[in-house]
């Protein structure tokens, strides 16, 4: 894939997996001298339409966001349903999960990534848009998240 595969090379978000979103949010708030954001649950399955490794999943997660200038830090505390969040937290422990890019044309971008050997791992909807995680780890040593806002 060439440099323009996503049509955007600006990282908009870094995602971290945590066991305790309250505790970790407070630690980041204290560290950065910021207000602790309120965490919230991802949408219920009927709204989120989450698919993980090609199958529907009831997976949900608690999310908290820190806006850090041009970059957003996302803390993710997953439930125990099948998801990339749960699998990664169980396998690798707390810490780094993904880098995210804002894109347009989700279906086309997923097709481009898959053609480049980076298969779709998980996708879902959120109020105002959709997301997809691609298994880019072998090539890029990191998971890529695509975010498309309406």
pTM metric for this prediction: 0.93
* pLDDT tens figures, 49-75: 999 999 999 999 999 999 999 999 999
How many CB atoms within 10 Å of residue 61?
Answer: 23
130-135 LR contacts (CB < 8 Å, sep 24+): 130/106, 131/100, 132/106, 133/84, 133/98, 134/110
Cβ-proximal residues to 91 (8 Å cutoff; 6+ apart), any chain: none
Question: 126 or 94: whose pLDDT is higher?
Answer: 94
Q: Are strands 51-52 and 120-126 parallel, antiparallel or unpaired?
A: antiparallel
């Amino acid at each position: 894939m060439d440099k323009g595969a996503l049509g955007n090379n600006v990282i908009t978000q870094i995602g971290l997996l945590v066991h305790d979103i309250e505790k970790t949010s407070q630690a980041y708030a204290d560290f950065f001298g910021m207000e602790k954001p309120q965490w919230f649950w991802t949408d219920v399955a009927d709204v989120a339409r989450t698919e993980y490794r090609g199958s529907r999943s009831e997976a949900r997660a608690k999310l908290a966001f820190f806006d850090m200038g041009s970059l957003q830090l996302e803390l993710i505390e997953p439930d125990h349903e099948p998801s990339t969040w749960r699998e990664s937290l169980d396998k690798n422990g707390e810490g780094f999960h993904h880098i995210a890019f804002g894109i347009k044309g989700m279906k086309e971008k997923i097709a481009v990534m898959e053609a480049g050997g980076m298969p779709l791992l998980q996708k879902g909807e959120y109020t105002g848009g959709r997301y997809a995680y691609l298994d880019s780890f072998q090539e890029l040593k990191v998971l890529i998240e695509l975010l498309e806002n309406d």
